[in-house]
Amino acid sequence: MREMRFDVLVVGGGAAGMAAACEVRDAGYTVVIVERENVLGGILLQCIHNGFGLTEFREELTGPEYAERFIDATTTGIEVLTDSTVVEIENANGEKTAYCYSGKTGVTVVRARAVVLAMGCRERNRGNVRIPGTRPAGVLTAGLAQRLVNIDGLIPGRDVVIVGSGDIGLIMARRMTWAGCTVHAVIEIQPYPSGLTRNIVQCLNDFKIPLYLSHIVSRIDGHDRVTRVDVTPVESGSPNYDKTFAISCDTVLLSVGLVPENELSKEAGVEIDPTTNGPIVDARLMTSVDGIFAAGNVLHVHDLVDYVSEEARRAGAYVVKYLRQEYPARQLRVKPGANVRYVRPGKCDPSTENRFYMRPLVVKNDATVVVRLDSTEVKRIKRPHIQPSEMITFRVNEGDLRESAIRDDSVLEVGIE
Amino acid sequence: MNDFDIAIVGAGVTGASVARTLSRYGLDVVLLEKECDVSLGTSKANSGIIHAGFHHDRKYLKTRLEVDGNVMFDRLRKELDFPFKRCGILVVAMKDEDMKYLSTLFEQGRENGAVGLEMCSRERTIELEPKIHPDVVGSLYAPAGGIIEPYRFVFALVESARKNGVELMTNFALQRAERTGEKWRLEAGDGRSVSASYVVNAAGLYADDVSRMFGAEEFSIRPRKGEYYLLDRMTKACPSRVLFPVPTQISKGMLVIPTVEGTVLIGPTAEDVDDKADVSTSVDQLDRIFEAARRMVPSVSENDVITSFSGLRPALDDGDFFLKVSEVVPGLVHAAGIQSPGLTAAPAIGEYVKDLLKEAGCTMIEKQRFDPNLQRLPRIRDLSAADVDSLATEDPRYAEIVCRCERVSEAEIREAIRRGHATLDGLKYFTRAGMGRCQGGFCTYRILKTIMDETGCTATEVRKRGAASAIITRQL
Ligand SMILES: Cc1cc2nc3c(=O)[nH]c(=O)nc-3n(C[C@H](O)[C@H](O)[C@H](O)COP(=O)(O)OP(=O)(O)OC[C@H]3O[C@@H](n4cnc5c(N)ncnc54)[C@H](O)[C@@H]3O)c2cc1C
Ligand SMILES: Cc1cc2nc3c(=O)[nH]c(=O)nc-3n(C[C@H](O)[C@H](O)[C@H](O)COP(=O)(O)OP(=O)(O)OC[C@H]3O[C@@H](n4cnc5c(N)ncnc54)[C@H](O)[C@@H]3O)c2cc1C
C-alpha cells in the first residue's frame, strides 16, 4: 500500500473541501484533498443554472463557474487525489489514518495530524419518506436526475411528477421541461413552498406547472415502469384519502430533503447531532474527536454555496490554529431558543468573532433574532421575512459580550421573536 | 439443443434447490424462469429465517422438511459460500400467560426433533438479547435457528447447478405445455420452446396456472402478502437473535430480524390479496409494523428506515406443501404451495423432489464428476485494506468503489454482469450495490455506465427488471 503523510487531510473536494484546503495551504501547512470523483467541484458541477456566488464573488455564476474559481485556486500547493474514496478514518495517538481506495492507484494510506470532513450530503429517498405502492423503474431522486441530465445527457423519462418543492425539485421541473418532458405537477406536503420565491416564479409559473401545496403523493403505481401516482390533500394535519386523485406519469422525481453524509464520521467516532444529522462541533468547528473538523453540507445542509465556502474557510483557519496549538481559553454553550430548530456551531468563543448559521422553525414577517447571554439580551437582528427553508446567519463578537459577566457555564441562547 | 430429460419451471429457491440436487446425476436439466434473473419472485422478499422446527405440528410435510432442511445448511454454506448465520431464534413472552404457549411450542419442537430448545427466564432472555423490551417475562430459545440472505442462497444454488451442467433460460415465461409422444413440449410467450421427459412445477405463486397448462391437478394458490421495513445498519435497534412475539388473536406476529448483512428487518404483515403481481406496500399496514416491533425492541425508530417491500406467500388452502407426482398427467411433479418455511426446507425439498422423479420413472445415475464447491468471489466489504490493495494489483477495479453505502467495487459489478446479472435489480441482489441507505442515489449512474461498458448496450437499453423497465428513455 502506498503511504503518504500530510499535516491535514481534507475528505471531499466540493466547495467546502476546496475552501478549507486553500486556507491551510495559505498558512504554510501541507494538505491533501481526497475526492472520489475524477474532478474537484462536488455537487456544483451538476448545477448548471445560475444563482451561485452572489455573496462570495458579487456576481451571478453557474455552479461549474463557481467551482472553476476554486479549482483554479487549488492548483498549487495542494495535493489532490481524485478517483479516490476514503473508506475509513482511524484515530490513534493523535494521528489520523485514512484508507483511500482508487481504481487507478489501489489503496493509499494517508496519515495526517488533522482532518477536515467535507463529504457533503445525500438526498433523502423514497424509503426515508415512506411512499407506499409498487417499486417500478422511474422513481429517482431529483439530484440523481440532475446528474443524469446535466452531466451524462441521459433523460430519465417523459411525463414527470415532482415530489417536494425544494429548490432542487423546482430547478429540475424547469430542466426537465427544457429537455422536452412534460412536468405534470409539483407536490408539496407543507402549506407553503419550501424553495425560493424566485424559483417558484422562474421554474414553475413561467412554464405553467401546477404546484399542489398541502398535498402528498400517497401511492406510486406501475409494474415495470411508473404509470401513475395518487395524490392526496392534507387537511388539518392529516391526509384525506377520500379526496385522492391520480396523475398519469412515467417518472417521479423526489426532492424531499438532504441529509449530511455521516457514515464515515460515525465510524471515526464522531458524535452526531440528531437535529442536523451532522457532527456536533465546537466554536472551532471541531467535532467530538480531537483534530477532526467538519464544514459544508456534511456538517449541516446549507441552501447557498457561498455560505459553505465561508464556513469551510473558517474551518481551515481553525485547523491552522489547532496545528499551532492555539486553543480557545473557554467556550460557551450555544442553545436554540424559541422558534429555532438549530444553531451551528453549538459553542461560542467569547474572545473573538463568531459566525453562526441557524434555521428557524416558523414562517414569519418582521422577525427579530434575539441573542441572550444567561437571559441578558446582548444582540438583536431584524429580518423582514424568515422561513424554515432559508438559513439565517449572524455574528457575535467580543464587543457584543463585553458588558456582560461571563462565567464558564454561561449559555448563549438564540431565539426568534 | 432444446431436448432435455428434466425441465424445472421456476427459478425460486424451490426450483434452484431441485436443479442443484439433480445436477449430481447424469441428466440433461433445464431451469426455466420467466423473469430476467433468478430469485425475483417470493424467494427474494421474505424474512430470510432458517426456522428451527418448533412452529408447526409434525403432521405437516412442511414441518418434517423444515427439520431436515435446517441441518443441511452448514454443509451447503461450506460448499456454496452464501451469507448464513445460526444466530438463534427467541420467541418472547411479554405476559405471564404467554409462557403457557411457549411450553406448547417447546413440546411440539421436541417431538419434531428440533435440537437445543430451551425455556428461558426473564434474566436468561435479557442475557441472550440485551435489546429486548424490559417488560419481557421469558422466552423460548432455539439456537439452531438462523438467518440467510435468501437471494444470495438462490444465486449460489443456481450457479452450482450450472457449473455442473444445468442449463438456465431466463425471460422464458412458460405459456403452453403439449404432450408430444413421450415428451412434454414447453413453449414460452416469446415463441421459444424446449422439450423434456419430466417437468417439475416450481412456479411459486403461479404453480396453479402452470398445472392448468398441463391439464393436471386443479388447485388454487392464494397469495398472502407480507410487508416489511428495512432499517439501516447504523440503527441502535439491531438485536443479535431473531425475535418472534407470541401470536395474538389479531396478528400472527411481527418479527424483528437481524439480517446477515447487519441491517434489520421488521415485519411481516399477513394479508390475503387477489393479485399475484401485487407486491405494493400500504400506509396502514406499514404503521402497524412499527407498533408491533416496538413492543419487543423499544429502540426501533422510523428514522432508520431505508426502504419497505413486500412478498407474497404462495399458500394453498390446507396450509401444507404440495409435493406430488401428478395423478392426472404423466411426467409431471408438483412442488407447489411452498409457503413458509420454504426457504428452510428448500434443501430437503430438492431431495424429496428427486425421489418423486424416481417414483415417476426417471432413472438417476450419479455423475463421476460432481463439483459441489463454488469458488469464492471476493467482496471487498469483507476484506482488509491490505487485501484490497493486493487484489487491486491484479485488477485495479477492486479498489474502485461504485456503491459507497455497501462498499461494492467495480470489479464485483463487472463479475456479476459477466455471470448474467445485467439488470439493475439483478445486480442489486447479487452484489448489494444500491441496496444501502442511499438506495442508489449516488451509484445508479456508475452502475449504468458499467453495464453499458461491459455489455456494449446503450443507456436506453439498460433495464431495472422487466422488459418495459427502462431507466433512461432518451439520450441527448
Ligand atoms: C443536488 C443539489 C443541488 C444544489 N443546488 C444549489 C443551487 O442551485 N444553488 C446553491 O446556491 N446551492 C445549491 N446546492 C447547495 C450547494 O451547492 C452545496 O451546498 C455545496 O456545493 C455543497 O458543498 P460541499 O463541499 O459541502 O458538498 P459537495 O459539493 O457535495 O462535495 C462533497 C464532495 O465530497 C466527495 N466525497 C464524499 N464522500 C467521499 C469520500 N468518502 N471520499 C472521497 N470523497 C468523498 C463527493 O464526491 C463530493 O465531491 C445544491 C446542493 C445539492 C445537493
Ligand atoms: C412474507 C414472507 C416471509 C417468509 N419468511 C420465510 C422465512 O423466514 N423462512 C422460510 O423458510 N421461508 C419463508 N417464507 C417462505 C419462502 O419465501 C417461500 O417458501 C419460498 O421463497 C418459495 O420459493 P419458490 O421457489 O417456491 O417460489 P418463488 O420464489 O416465487 O419462485 C417461483 C418462480 O417461478 C417463476 N415462474 C412463475 N411462473 C412461471 C412461468 N409460467 N414460467 C417460468 N417461470 C415461472 C417465478 O418468476 C418465480 O421466480 C416467507 C414467505 C413470505 C412471502
Q: How confident is the model at residue B252 (pLDDT cuts 50, 70, 90)?
A: low
Q: Find which of A176, A182, A224, A253 to mutate to test the B interface (most B CBs within 10 Å of its CB).
A: A224
Query: Which atom of ligand 2 is least distant from the CA of B336?
Result: 26
Least confident of A74-83, A263-272, A397-406, B381-390: A397-406
Cβ–Cβ of A158/B445 closer than 8 Å?
A: no
H or E segment and range at residue B218 = none
Query: Is ipTM > 0.90 here?
Result: yes
For residue B189, pLDDT beyond 70: yes
Residue contact B473–A155, C-beta within 8 A: yes
Is the pLDDT at B249 greater than 70? The verdict is no
Closest CA of chain B from A216, distance in Å: 13
* A324: three-class secondary structure by DSSP: coil
To 10 degrees, the CA torsion angle through B19, B21, B26, B30?
A: 0
Dist. CA B13–CA B41, nearest whole Å: 9
Whether residue B251 has pLDDT greater than 70: no
- Cβ count near A39 (within 10 Å): 13
pLDDT (mean) for B247-255: 74
Q: How many CB atoms lie within 10 A of CB A360?
A: 24
Say what the pLDDT of residue B350 is: 98
Instruction: Give B250's pLDDT tier (boundaries 50, 70, 90).
Output: low
Residue of B nearest to A36 (CA): B401
Number of Cβ within 10 Å of residue B281's Cβ equals 25
Q: What's the pLDDT score for residue A295?
A: 98
Mean pLDDT for A305-311 is 97
- pTM (2 d.p.): 0.91
A145 or B441, greater pLDDT: A145
Which residues of B does the annotation mark as catalytic? Answer: 51
Cell numbers placing B262:
447487519
Indicate left, alpha or beta for B240 from its phi (over 0: left) and psi (-120 to 50: alpha): alpha
With cut-offs at 50, 70 and 90, classify the pLDDT of residue B348.
very high
Q: Enumerate the β-bridge partners of residue B243.
A: B90, B256
Residue B441 above 90 pLDDT?
no
Residue A110 pLDDT class (50, 70, 90 cuts): very high
Residue in chain B lying closest to A260 (CA): B438
> Does residue A404 surpass a pLDDT of 80?
no
Average pLDDT in chain A: 95
pLDDT of residue A377: 93
Ligand 2 atom nearest to CA at B32? 43
Q: What is the per-residue pLDDT for B360?
A: 96
Give per-residue pLDDT as tens, B10-19: 999 999 999 9
Residue B320 confidence (pLDDT) above 70:
yes
User: Which of A26-30, A194-198, B413-417 shows the lowest per-residue confidence on average (mean pLDDT)?
Assistant: A194-198
pLDDT band at B280 (very low <50, low <70, confident <90, very high): confident
Helix (H) / strand (E) containing B430: helix B424-431
Query: Rounded CA gap, B287 and B282, in Å?
Result: 9
Identify the pLDDT of residue A388. 87
Running DSSP on this structure, what letter comes out for residue B159? H
- pLDDT beyond 80 at A16: yes
Rounded percentage of chain A residues whose pLDDT exceeds 70:
100
A150: enclosing H helix or E strand: helix A142-150
At B439, is the pLDDT very low, low, confident or very high (cuts 50, 70, 90)?
A: confident
- Confidence band (pLDDT; 50, 70, 90) for B438? confident
**What share of chain B in percent tops pLDDT 90?**
88
Among B17, B43, B186, name the best residue to mutate to test ligand 2's pocket (greatest count of ligand atoms within 8 A of Cβ). Answer: B43
Can you give the pLDDT at residue A375? Answer: 86
Please check whether residue A99 touches B, CB under 8 A. yes
Name the one residue in this structure whose C-alpha cell is 443554472.
A49
Residue A127: what pLDDT?
Answer: 83
Sign (positive or negative) of CA dihedral A236, A241, A242, A247: positive
